[in-house]
Structure 1
């Protein structure tokens, strides 16, 4: 039983769905701007008679039997067509009339039925058909009018055209909402010529009015110019009076001005003088601080450094001399010790040889002993001679340093000249402005570099004994001697090792 109820409910639901689908398929609704034309059976429509063969529905829905009836739509929207019609007036003047016609299908059933019979499948052809209708009637109406009538009363042309086309438009099921004549073109210039007398008259009146206006404007300008001249005269008179008063005041001011200027200038001069004095004092103080004191400090620094360097060099020279003397004594002692040791060794070897070869050893030992003693004495004499030579050389250096330095410089003269000429070794290109003379001068300067060094050495020798008080005479201390006056410089002692 429950299964049967379910099947019955399903059948009922399916039937409802089918009915709804069929209803939607059969139900048609007309939009506000369209009309439904239903054909396929005879219908009786009020006002249209019987047996029309189709039914018209507007603004509502209706049932349509699919397969039995056909439904088509007729638009009730506005349409327009542009008019451009060549016409000839009653006077035989060709014109072109341009305008626009706005029309639509009538809202009554008769108009819809007439439009459906003529345009249902050709709704896009409506503007062309309407243009043909209006063009024919417009030519007919223009042919009965003159150009003056059309220009002066264009509404008459519009009304006659609408009235003439009304019957035919009603038969087509159309109504005219608006008819406007925009423009009337005149290829022959008739309208222009028609307007020329009026335009000339208007131009004449305009010129007359302009001339009158110019005359009145000129009179007004002359009167204004006269008033301006009068006002200018009065103003100049007043200005002359004011100028006289200003000149009088200016003269009084000019008399007081020079005195005030002189007093002010005197005060300015006093102040400028004081400022100049203060500026001079400031510059003097600035000079003391910026120039004099730094210069004194630099001079004191250089003097102190020179004295310290001089004392250091003297101390070094003395130490070097002492070292040389000690080295000579040590060398003599070494030679003597070596000679004694050699003698003792030789004596020992002699005694050993005498013990081994007693037969011949005594004579040979005596000879060997004599030979060793001779060699020892020779070595001793050689060491003493070298010591004496070193001592004599040191004494000679102390007595006549200049001669010793000159001798050493003479021995090393070639090397000095070579070192002086080495300055030209890195010169890749040399330009001489005076030819061979310039070359000779260049080599002469290179060769005289050694002489310059010799003169410098002499000056140094002249001043080296200043701190120690051991100079041979007072002239050396004063910068004069056998080699001439010595220039300023730091004394450098020349020892045997420096040579």
Structure 2
């Protein structure tokens, strides 16, 4: 019994091994890049016409009966073929077109079936067949194009070639993944000659660009050199300035001693000059206080007294004249009244009329005579008062003539300056060679005319004093309208000096 069980178990294991072995022999799996074509029995594949006699399996496994069915593989990998086709363009120019075609068997069952029928045993010849197909169509397409079209629009050449080969490739069960035209060879040099004008233009532009770049580089270099020279110049200028400052400082240090001595001496001179000016001012003020002020006071006193005396005499003379006039008027009134009475007494008598008329005339004549005497007495009194005043002024002038002349000049100084400036009123054009100094000298000369008048007045007074001393009087009398005075005093003629001024261009 146990032996039987062992035999059964061994038979079962053997059967299992046989089954597994048979299954492995019968089971086929298609890789992703291949298709299994199974022939040997009647099969129907979706998308294929009925009764083709083979089955296509892609991407999965299937059972194949050994000895009954045959299994072969069709590669779905990419393939490529080099194109090197001699062509002639529409212009008759021979060209050689080089390119590459990348193709493969289509993934659909129809393409696999078509490729299987044509290339299943000749897959290595697939690239040659494709090259022949593309070479023929490429020659035909290039024959209808010009060189310029092929150069400028290679995509057009590629598109037309693919379109022309599409139907045939489809019949072969192939699809074109890529078609590239790598190169167009021109053994005649047409393309080279065609490109020469453009190449010359490009070369020209390149040379122009290079020349412009060289110019810009040269300008930049020259500008850099100029900046370097400018920096060197500025540095040298600064160094020279610093050296000059050092030299100046050294010179100042060497001159410090002499300059200090000169400054000290100058300060001494300035102080001495200031002391002299102050001393002169002090003396001038002393003279003003000691001489001019007392002289002015004395002259003012005498002038005031003379004017008071004159006014008193004039008042007395006027009073006396008024008294005489009133007396004469009273006498005339009395005589007139007596004559009127006499005339009335003798009115009845015709002879008395002439006597009354004569008496009236005599009374009027007496009144006129009395008025004349009173006026003459008043005039005489006024003349005496003026003479006394003139005599007092002459005495004051003799005592302090300098003070009186200076006072009169000071009072009339604006008129003197105006008269001096009038010399330039008729000058139309004046040119000064020495600038402001010449103008100052010119006006100084005009103003010194007043000083000239002062000198003349002093000389005249001196001569008058000498004449008075010789006569032993020491005074100047001016009665009867012949009195003399100086610088605006009554009864005198003003002292003037005419200085001719001509228009002169300096």
The TM tier, using the shorter chain, reads: 0.3 to 0.5
TM-score w.r.t. length of structure 1: 0.47
